[in-house]
């Protein structure tokens, strides 16, 4: 059964026939029930993401009403990825330069260690689901400079904080998100102050395992902020919290959807075991085939033309990244899972000014985590695992459970 609309599609067992219909027949169309324009084809998605009159937030509501004025809203308001314009160019440049210069081999070593040190039994569904979220957050928190003993706490705070980013959250969840925002900002500010105090000293205690040159990610971002003229200390702390929040859902979804691919795609696990260097192809093909970030939004700042349609200021566009990934114009044989796909195009990490600067970091963490998982257990053909998808407006996050009944036939095909 097809999803009712593109929001339902995110958590649907198999949204891809629905997306394919849009891509082929309605690549850019108005959806009256949701009062949204839908961009589905690779061409439409590319145009929308690069359009100069489209913004990441509506002009009348730069911060979602549910969190405006609250601690979580203060963090949201300062996130470079959730804002446009000159004040946010320096933060974007600083983050791009630092994340683009990471020693990915060192990150991989750190990620493998954290993933392997987990005390969870990764053959049990509940433990597997929790591990998907814990591992990437602990890796990035460690890179930032958080002490090992604080990492479980960072995971718990982040689990509460990300509720502020979802329109589906309850008042109780938003209250916990605000508490978590206060704590996370305070902890990150302490790391920034510590890095500043230790700057240039031998044996810098702001160093983090896995970081090239010994400096923590906080210290590197702080230095880059100074170099680019980014002087807003509150924005610095908020964007480092934002880096953790992006890791929590997007990288967890990438790992989880890779697990689904290993279970459902014939021959993939045996091929990766035979040639471990193909693990990177596995992760990248998963990000295309079953994107952890299914959609994003853009808002029209001034009357303009988009994909041949005249749109008025204030109009909203739902950008179906997962649909564009399966557009045959972007990727030949789009509904096949190909480890060695030539000229693979992936839209899930965005495009242009708002392209995610952490793409390679996410791939590296996911590759390391899945590598450890394959050392612990076999996934191909597992008949004791079932899964559904966490309710979300844009993130595709599998939740694994023990198999009780026959698995439905449609599974992310």
> pLDDT tens across 86-112, in order?
667 778 888 889 999 999 999 999 999
With a threshold of 0.85, does the pTM exceed it? Answer: yes
The answer to the question of residue 55 being in a domain is no
The answer to the question of residue 10 being in a domain is no
From the CB of residue 193, how many other CB atoms can be counted at a distance below 10 Å?
14
CATH of the domain at 146: 1.10.630.10
Q: Which of 19-23, 79-83, 290-294, 317-321 has the least mean pLDDT?
A: 79-83
pLDDT tens per residue, range 105-153 = 999 999 999 999 998 888 889 999 999 999 999 999 999 999 999 999 9
pLDDT tens per residue, range 272-298 = 999 999 999 999 999 999 999 999 999
Q: Which of 243-252, 284-293, 311-320, 354-363 has the least mean pLDDT?
A: 354-363
Q: State residue 351's pLDDT score.
A: 67
CB 90 within 8 A of CB 236: no
The answer to the question of residue 116 being in a domain is yes
Q: How far apart are CA 386 and CA 406, in angstroms?
A: 9
The answer to the question of residue 8 being in a domain is no
The answer to the question of residue 35 being in a domain is no
Q: Taking residues 353-367, report their average pLDDT.
A: 86
The answer to the question of residue 188 being in a domain is yes
279-299 burial string, b = 16+ CB within 10 Å, else e? Answer: bebbbbbbbbbbbbbbbbbbb
pLDDT tens per residue, range 369-410 = 999 999 999 998 888 899 999 999 999 999 999 875 434 433
Q: State residue 245's pLDDT score.
A: 93
Domain that holds residue 130: 60-294+338-402
Q: State residue 174's pLDDT score.
A: 96
Q: How many domains does the chain have?
A: 1
Read off the pLDDT band of 66 (50, 70, 90): very high
Contacts of 402 (CB under 8 A, 6+ apart): 125, 384, 385, 386
Q: How far is CA 353 from CA 56, 313, 330, in A?
A: 11, 21, 21
Q: Taking residues 65-85, report their average pLDDT.
A: 91
């Amino acid at each position: 059964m097809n999803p009712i609309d593109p929001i339902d599609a995110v958590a649907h067992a198999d949204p891809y026939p629905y997306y394919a219909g849009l891509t082929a027949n309605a690549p850019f169309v108005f959806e009256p029930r949701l009062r949204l324009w839908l961009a589905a084809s690779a061409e439409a998605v590319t145009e929308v993401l690069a359009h100069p009159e489209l913004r990441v937030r509506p002009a009348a509501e730069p911060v979602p009403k549910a969190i405006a004025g609250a601690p979580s809203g203060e963090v949201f308001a300062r996130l470079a990825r959730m804002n446009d314009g000159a004040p946010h160019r320096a933060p974007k440049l600083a983050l791009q330069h630092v994340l683009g210069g990471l020693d990915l081999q060192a990150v991989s070593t750190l990620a493998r260690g954290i993933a392997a040190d987990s005390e969870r039994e990764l053959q049990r569904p509940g433990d597997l689901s929790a591990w998907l979220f814990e591992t990437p957050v602990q890796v990035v928190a460690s890179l930032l400079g958080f002490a090992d003993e604080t990492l479980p706490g960072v995971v718990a705070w982040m689990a509460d904080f990300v509720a502020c980013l979802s329109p589906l959250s309850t008042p109780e969840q938003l209250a916990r998100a605000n508490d978590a925002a206060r704590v996370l900002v305070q902890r990150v500010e302490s790391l920034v102050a510590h890095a500043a105090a230790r700057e240039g000293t031998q044996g810098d205690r702001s160093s983090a395992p896995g970081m090239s040159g010994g400096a923590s990610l906080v210290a590197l971002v702080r230095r880059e902020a100074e170099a680019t003229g980014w002087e807003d200390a509150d924005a610095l702390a908020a964007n480092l919290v934002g880096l953790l929040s992006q890791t929590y859902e997007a990288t967890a979804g990438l790992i989880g959807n890779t697990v689904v691919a290993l279970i459902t795609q014939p021959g993939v696990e045996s091929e990766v075991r035979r040639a471990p260097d193909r693990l990177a192809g596995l992760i990248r093909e998963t990000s295309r085939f079953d994107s952890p970030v299914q959609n994003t939004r853009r808002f029209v700042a001034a009357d303009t033309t988009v994909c041949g349609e005249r749109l008025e200021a204030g109009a909203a566009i739902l950008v179906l990244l997962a649909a564009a990934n399966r557009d045959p114009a972007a990727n030949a044989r789009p509904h096949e899972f190909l480890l060695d796909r030539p000229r693979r195009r992936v839209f899930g990490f965005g495009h242009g000014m708002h392209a995610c600067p952490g793409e390679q970091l996410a791939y590296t963490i996911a590759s390391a985590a899945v590598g450890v998982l394959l050392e612990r257990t076999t996934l191909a053909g597992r008949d004791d695992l079932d899964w559904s998808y966490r309710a979300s407006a844009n993130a595709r996050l599998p939740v694994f459970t023990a198999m009780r009944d026959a698995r439905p036939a449609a599974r992310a095909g």
